[in-house]
Amino acid sequence: MPCRGRAWATALAVFGPVFDAALSVAASPEREDHRRIVINDEDHTMLVRVTEAIYIERPALIAAGQLRYVVSENTRHLRPGSAYAGFLFGTAHDVLAALKQA
């Protein structure tokens, strides 16, 4: 049964801007170096593959000098400060600090 009424209106009000800004990319093919980057964590390997796909498929979305972060609080598997495909891994705190300096 489709969502209707107040719940649907609330969902659109909250998530509508996210849906409007979202774009679709196909994850890049998995490679062995993806697993090394995320220290062999299966759940985060897909995140790295999608990050790479954005960099490859939609380069026009990435402005020169723009902050490019993959944000995760999982510092065990996505080490803050590590870089891949033009993106840095960092926590929300890292990103906020970088934005303040920019």
Does the pLDDT of residue 1 top 70, yes or no?
no
Which of residues 44 and 21 earns the better pLDDT score? 44
Average pLDDT over residues 20-46: 71
Domain housing 31: 5-101
Kindly report, residue by residue over 46-85, the tens digit of the pLDDT: 777 777 787 777 777 766 666 678 788 888 877 888 877 7
**Structural domains of the chain, count:** 1
Query: How far apart (Å, rounded) are the C-alpha atoms in residues 77 and 39?
Result: 5
> What is the percent of the chain with per-residue pLDDT over 70, rounded to a whole number?
76
